A and B are shown apart, each in its own frame.
Chain A
């Protein structure tokens, strides 16, 4: 609220602060498959994410609304979207996943943000000339 002094009309602005209002959280992740074998396609990638959730958090975890927004098979990197209340479950499940079809693998979470736009730039990969 703008300051209302003695007898003066209230200023014409209003400030609202919303905490944790974002519905979804976005994660940019990369799957590391060091053995250089066949790469999973988009559907298999999604299946892997759901499997990771099912192992760590059971059927309740596997039912979490997770979406693979983009997927690049060449680099094995993807942007995932998850409902905000499920961020911790998803991130912990990805962290603890060790195998894809009996092959050693690891998920690296590169960026995360409640705003998709924030994933378009990554200051860690910024090259300063």
Chain B
């Protein structure tokens, strides 16, 4: 068993400005989170949380971010996340906030949570559709999702390629 325990914090970036999506990248997020920790917890907090701190996963389309830190300092990290008010990239600032979705001990637990969460979110989006066209669009893309099976024997006709 490892004495080096880590915590993985899953959050989503919420912004009213659609241009904020281009700021959802490694460097900008690291800087924003580090800056927030420094403001809220000072030099000590920054040093504590910086051990083993990385952005493990990013998804600019959904705004999902997975952060990693030491188990001893995840509370410092989580309490500083609400203080991130904007993301900056290429000298442009876009206001946003971070919503913490889940804290897990491994990447796998966070992934399981994310899959469940995305499913419920898709259903919610479907319900909130305002017009029929959007509804049809979402339904079509949902129904066309499938897992591709590796065909090891002779080539059969290929399934529609969609990943979950």
Q: Is B58 an interface residue (CB 8 A)?
A: no
Q: Is A11 an interface residue (CB 8 A)?
A: no
Q: Is A46 an interface residue (CB 8 A)?
A: no
Q: Is B39 an interface residue (CB 8 A)?
A: yes
Assess whether B40 is in contact with A56, with CB atoms less than 8 Å apart: no
Assess whether A60 is in contact with B41, with CB atoms less than 8 Å apart: yes
Alpha-carbon separation in the docked complex, A96 to B40 (Å): 18
Q: Interface digits, A73-108 against B, CB 8 Å rule (1 contact, 0 not)?
A: 000000000000000000010000000000000000
Q: Is A57 an interface residue (CB 8 A)?
A: yes
Alpha-carbon separation in the docked complex, A58 to B34 (Å): 12
For the complex, count residues of A whose C-beta is within 8 A of B.
10
- Tell me the interface secondary structure of chain B in the complex: helix
Q: Interface digits, A46-70 against B, CB 8 Å rule (1 contact, 0 not)?
A: 0000000111111111000000000
Identify which of residues 35-63 in chain B touch chain A, using a CB-to-CB cut-off of 8 Å: 37-45
**Beta-carbon nearest neighbor of B83 in chain A:** A59
From B37, B38, B39, B43, residue with most partner A Cβ within 10 Å: B43
Shortest beta-carbon distance from A30 to chain B in Å: 24
| Chain B residues near A56 (CB-CB < 8 A) | 42-44
Shortest beta-carbon distance from A45 to chain B in Å: 20
Shortest beta-carbon distance from A40 to chain B in Å: 22
| Chain B residues near A60 (CB-CB < 8 A) | 40-42, 45, 79
| Chain A residues near B45 (CB-CB < 8 A) | 57-58, 60
Shortest beta-carbon distance from A92 to chain B in Å: 8
| Chain A residues near B43 (CB-CB < 8 A) | 55-56
Alpha-carbon separation in the docked complex, A95 to B120 (Å): 51
Interface residues of B (CB under 8 A from A): 37-45, 79
Query: With contacts A53-B42, A56-B42 known, what are 5 further pairs, Cβ within 8 A?
Result: A57-B45, A60-B42, A60-B45, A60-B79, A61-B42
